[in-house]
Amino acid sequence: MATNKNKKLGKGLDSMGVNSIFGADVATLINNIENNASASMQEKIALDKIRPNPYQPRKVFDKEALQELAVSIEQHGVFQPVILKKSVQGYEIVAGERRCRAAKLAKLTEVPAIIVEFSDEQMMEVALLENIQRENLNAIEEAQAYQTMMEKLSLTQEALGKRIGKSRSYIANTLRLLTLPQEIQDFVLAGKLSMGHARCLITLEKEKAVQLANRCVEEKLSVRDIENIVKGIELGNSRKDKPKKEVNPEFTYVEHLLRKKYRTKIAVDEKTVTIKYNSKEDLNRILEIMGVIEES
């Protein structure tokens, strides 16, 4: 295994944009590093010396896609070098974790790599933005990454939004997903629920949200289905909140007698009798029964 500690790309990669990652097209940045580094800058690094990026936002890796990549690597090898950062013990992945995982599945012991000098802040930026730009992050993974960046870099929602090209409201709405019960977050992480489903469930009480999430997974309900169900639940809640009118059995009995006599809807309360009629003819009919006659 050949290693050359002097062959690393330092922090002075202004031409590749490394010193100004936020707001940049990180997919292009990574491609530039991979494509512009000469062959002499590539090294073979043992897989057992490589650790995942501690700031990697992706928690779930598609097993089927990894297996397909592993088969390709078995047949053709790893064409595109991974990007690593030297750490206290071995190396940390800056970009290329899927390739490293697939290479292990393919029984490889080492992979081609480019060593760069990135700060922890740059590691975090690249990990988040590469995943957003190259492969869509799961909504919960994205929310967790935003929360980590805000905490580690002391950023407000507005500041983070400006630096990664997202609106403050988008950041806020994404972070709200972390208030969902863990069971629902796990469904989103596993790809069983979408961000749209999850957003609908945020407004519900914990127990009802979990029940509806399970139903959604079992019945494969659409976002529109969930929206309609949630509206129904909220309407039901608002009706339940209204105090029920107490029914006086005496008034009910009188209503029954009057309705039987006049064959129309009649409501009786403590001081009022209300008689409903449907038309002028219906009114005249009721007046005749009452014995009310126009004066000639």
> Would you say 57 and 97 are in contact if contact means Cβ atoms under 8 Å apart?
no
- The total of other beta-carbon atoms located within 10 Å of residue 47's CB is 14
Residue for token pair 């905490």: 151
Amino acid at 70: A
* 97 noted as active-site residue: yes
Of 43, 92, 97, 130, the active-site residue reads: 97
> Would you say 121 and 150 are in contact if contact means Cβ atoms under 8 Å apart?
no
CA Rg value for the chain: 33
> Would you say 240 and 247 are in contact if contact means Cβ atoms under 8 Å apart?
no
- The total of other beta-carbon atoms located within 10 Å of residue 45's CB is 23
Residues tagged active-site: 97
